[in-house]
Amino acid sequence: MAIRNSVKVGQIVLIPAKVKAGMFPTERYFYWEIAPGNNISGYVVGDQVQNDRVRAVIVNLTRDNAVLALPGELTRNNLVRVPIAFAREHAER
């Protein structure tokens, strides 16, 4: 399957998010609307953000989905399941 093979476990995915200053100078607050009504937000260390994109790591792949591990303190579990096409489109090159 060509699409699955284009990403791999351990690869970085850059999540497009709304990013603001955090409570401390070294952290950033981010908000990511995965789908309407399904969002995630939290605080990450500044070096985990690149141009309003939060770095995540692919930790598992299935036929149709990638499981991403997001860094930092979040409003829910740090693991997020996304379509494989999303991971492929936002994978760090």
Where in the chain are the domains?
A: 2-90
Residues 6+ apart with CB under 8 A from 24: none
Average pLDDT over residues 19-42: 91
Q: Residue 6: is its pLDDT beyond 90?
A: no
pLDDT of residue 2: 43
Please state, rounded to an integer, the average pLDDT across all residues of the chain: 89
pLDDT band at 1 (very low <50, low <70, confident <90, very high): very low
Q: Residue 4: is its pLDDT beyond 60?
A: no
pTM over 0.75: yes
More reliable by pLDDT, 41 or 73 = 41
